[in-house]
Structure 1
Amino acid sequence: MDVDTIRESFDRVEEKQKQYASRSQEIIDQLIKEIELAITKLQDGNLDQSAILAQLKAQIDEITPVAQFEGCQKELNLAIAKYTKLLEKTFHSDISKAYRDVEMDTATINEIIASHFYRQGQFEIGDGFSSEAQVSESDILKSPFLEMHSILQAMRQSRDLGPALAWVTKNRDKLLRYGSSLELKLHELQFIEMLKAGKKGEALKYARAHLSPWANEHQAEIQKVFACLLWENRLDQSPYGDLSSPSQWKELESELVRQFCGLMGQSHESPLAVTVAAGAEGLPTLLKLASVMQAKKQEWQEMKQLPVPLDLPKEYQFHSVFVCPVLREQGSEENPPMLMPCGHVLSRQSILKLSKNSTRAFKCPYCPQEGTVAQCRQLYF
């Protein structure tokens, strides 16, 4: 779907409409001025009223030539007609031939939709939908996202990192288990904000209390942050100006969402939004395929595999099958893929064998890092 072409066509329509509206407003203003002038003259009883009205008519005919209005309107109508045809060509009103009739669990679908609203922070809409659709576990779906969005709201509206720091402190062990440095980044930003506010003494005390414990593993990063003390009143002009950039807040918000959803065992992106977007990307190909197959009097919906490739962007590509590189066996519910602390993935049975049934730490077959079974996390494909 070429959205850029549609946007360009719409921009042309918008530009024509603005030009037409601007020209029309100029003419209307001139007409009002001439009419007001004529009224003033008519109120003077010493002037010839017939002559005044005749002069007004001549002025109106001169100001508002019909041909000029017709030309502007014609150009606008032509642009609208082209845009309409492009929409009709791009978007199909009937997409039923591009999908198969599949039995779906209505309750599960409703939970996915409700979860999407809560994930996006649209709690009122989510509550309304959950009530109408009778989603039984709406409170369970809602509560974690309420906490997440309250943290994000504090960051966006009042530049308050307190709720975020409280959350990472509460979940410190889990976050560290997955190698997260979110807590450090939040403390760094808090330090920078204190420094920008001219609170150098408080910032130094804060750094000693909250940044120093990270020095062993993040020495270079900590040194860079401490160097900001030398540029107290001109941090934006320093070599470390990027640390005071507003983009730091945006990046931390995104990172917090990732970590928050990760601890919940969910994707940081809405599964519903990803599914709809991927479907929209693949829809033109499926519609074209359906038309070709229909012309050949063949039914593509009965095929087990599509006869043409359905190319999707990388963000919509997911592995549906996992094969353990050690046992060379396909993953299953009983033997799912497990993410090790180093980032490599093995099957659960491989990890149990390497760890002697969880009795000791084991070394990754692909890198020198060691880990334990407790540090491994199940992946869902």
Structure 2
Amino acid sequence: MDVSAALSALEALSSSTSTSSSGPLNALIDHQFTQSKQRILAGDDPKTVIVDLQKAVKTCKKDVEKGLKSWYGALGNVGKAVDKAFPPNLGAISKAYEDPPLFSAPEAADALDQVVLDSLGRRGLWDAVAAMEEETTLTYPKDRRALAEELQHIINSILSSNLEPALAWCETNKPFLNSPPHPSSLPYHLHKAVFTSLASDDRAAAIAYARANMMGFVPTQPVLKLITSCLYTGNDIPQNNGKDVDMDEEADGCNQRKAEEEDKKRERQEQLEELAKMLKDEFCRRYQWPKEDPLEVALDLGSRGGALNVIEKARKVMSEHLGPIRTWTDLPIEVPLPPSRRYHSVFVCPVSKEQATESNPPKMLTCGHVIAQESFNRLLKGGRRSAKCPYCPIETSQSVAQRLYF
């Protein structure tokens, strides 16, 4: 479990009445005490009323302890996630860079404050944004805040099964989403989610919805296959035709239906989370925002990516010969990065050693190797229909080579 997941789990507990200590206490005060007073005024035996109230207090105590146990477990997971994410010698590493202190230059300090402010706004923590604006000279742009709030509203709506705001945003930004070189499939997947939701209750309504909203995706998406599968789902409940049903069989069938319903709910939630992620990516692309939070990426590379440990090891081993590491313009070491953090702003053809351009784009061969278009064309000289990869014996035809976008 990473830090973000642990914090999300802790936040979920804070919004749940079942794990809040105030919930059982409020129920005890508002209901049990009031009910006991009314019973005494109505003439019930006070001793009986007090005994019942004591039982209610014991039950409340157990509920509070149960909620606190969940809280302590979630807090423990946060601590474990932090210890796992960051190097155990983080304090010693920090002390090694105190002379001069990091981010002591005004430009560096302002840049750090700006990154933190942007990260807070990206997460919608507007109280923290307001506090940081008071403590610094920075101001979060109003237009960017409006867009961030719009994004959060749409994502929250998706997670609550309301896809209308997302579909409205797609309709407003339809020219952008349909623009080449890589048009978005987000509108189709949103309509598909609405279609599948309708199909579980009313197949006729689902088919009518598909005809009205999804036929434009037929050339690029399996719309007809989706509609056909709706007609043959096989979800009709078989009847027992008046035959007696054994109680154990009926209970097993009930348990099976409950398990199926739980599986459907879980699949639906996973589908909504995937839609929310897709919309967030397209929203960031639309307004040229980073797809990932830069502050989160930097922390991830320094902690789980291992950059801090590698740099610290180099400082200890090589600083005696090369001087303080803070004076180095380049690191004479390789910092390994996880696959998800390997970014490529440009592509250099390994054959021609030239950067790819719009007229000379990168092409991926059948084997997975990538070379530039001009290099691939040179391999196809002489009227050949396929070319052998310069790095392996696998051949690729001209129609199969796929263009890549970085």
- Name the TM tier (shorter chain): 0.5 to 0.7
Does residue 301 (structure 1) correspond to residue 329 (structure 2)? The answer is: no
**Cross-structure match for 1:355:** none
**Cross-structure match for 1:188:** 192
Does residue 261 (structure 1) correspond to residue 284 (structure 2)? The answer is: yes
Change (3 A) 1:256 1:310: same
Other structure's SS at 1:93 match: helix
Q: Structure 2 CA distance, aligned partners of 1:342 and 1:323?
A: 8
Structure 2, unaligned stretches of length 5 or more? Answer: 3-79, 238-256, 365-369, 371-396
Change (3 A) 1:223 1:267: same
Change (3 A) 1:328 1:147: same
Offset at residue 110 of structure 1 (A): 2.8
Change (3 A) 1:307 1:255: same
**Cross-structure match for 1:9:** none
TM-score, normalisation: structure 2 = 0.53
Counterpart of 2:177, as a letter, is: L
**Cross-structure match for 1:227:** 229
The answer (yes or no) to whether the contact 2:217–2:223 under 8 Å persists in 1 is: no
Q: Structure 2 CA distance, aligned partners of 1:193 and 1:343?
A: 39
Counterpart of 1:290, as a letter, is: R
Offset at residue 154 of structure 1 (A): 1.0
Q: Structure 2 CA distance, aligned partners of 1:339 and 1:148?
A: 35
TM-score, normalisation: structure 1 = 0.56
**Cross-structure match for 1:90:** 88
Q: Structure 2 CA distance, aligned partners of 1:183 and 1:156?
A: 16
**Cross-structure match for 1:132:** 135
The answer (yes or no) to whether the contact 1:154–1:163 under 8 Å persists in 2 is: yes
Offset at residue 306 of structure 1 (A): 2.1
**Cross-structure match for 1:288:** 313
Q: Bigger shift: 145-154 or 123-132?
A: 123-132
Match of 2:294 among 267, 271, 278: 271
Change (3 A) 1:223 1:310: same
Residues 202-241 of structure 1 mapped to structure 2, 5 A cutoff: 202-218=205-221, 220-231=222-233, 233=235
Offset at residue 256 of structure 1 (A): 0.9
The answer (yes or no) to whether the contact 2:121–2:129 under 8 Å persists in 1 is: yes
The answer (yes or no) to whether the contact 2:203–2:231 under 8 Å persists in 1 is: yes
Change (3 A) 1:165 1:339: farther
Q: Bigger shift: 312-321 or 269-278?
A: 312-321
Counterpart of 1:315, as a letter, is: S
Structure 1, unaligned stretches of length 5 or more? Answer: 4-82, 332-336, 346-365, 370-376
The answer (yes or no) to whether the contact 1:113–1:272 under 8 Å persists in 2 is: yes
What is the identity percentage for the equivalent residue pairs of Structure 1 and Structure 2? 23
* Residues 151-189 of structure 1: CA deviation (Å, up to 9, x unaligned): 1111223x1001000001111110111410100100010
The answer (yes or no) to whether the contact 2:203–2:230 under 8 Å persists in 1 is: no
Structural RMSD (CA)? 4.3
Q: Which has the larger radius of gyration?
A: 1
Counterpart of 1:165, as a letter, is: L
Counterpart of 1:250, as a letter, is: E
Counterpart of 1:153, as a letter, is: N
The answer (yes or no) to whether the contact 1:118–1:146 under 8 Å persists in 2 is: no
Offset at residue 141 of structure 1 (A): 2.6
Q: Structure 1 CA distance, aligned partners of 2:322 and 2:362?
A: 53
The answer (yes or no) to whether the contact 1:184–1:211 under 8 Å persists in 2 is: yes
The answer (yes or no) to whether the contact 2:284–2:291 under 8 Å persists in 1 is: yes
The answer (yes or no) to whether the contact 2:207–2:227 under 8 Å persists in 1 is: no
Residues 1-381 of structure 1 mapped to structure 2, 5 A cutoff: 90-96=88-94, 97=96, 103=105, 104-157=107-160, 159-177=161-179, 178-196=182-200, 198-218=201-221, 220-231=222-233, 233=235, 245-280=268-303, 281-294=306-319, 298-319=323-344
Change (3 A) 1:263 1:95: same
The answer (yes or no) to whether the contact 2:347–2:362 under 8 Å persists in 1 is: no
The answer (yes or no) to whether the contact 1:192–1:243 under 8 Å persists in 2 is: no
Offset at residue 305 of structure 1 (A): 2.8
Other structure's SS at 1:174 match: helix
Q: Structure 1 CA distance, aligned partners of 2:196 and 2:334?
A: 50
Q: Bigger shift: 320-329 or 167-176?
A: 320-329
Change (3 A) 1:294 1:278: same
Change (3 A) 1:148 1:284: same
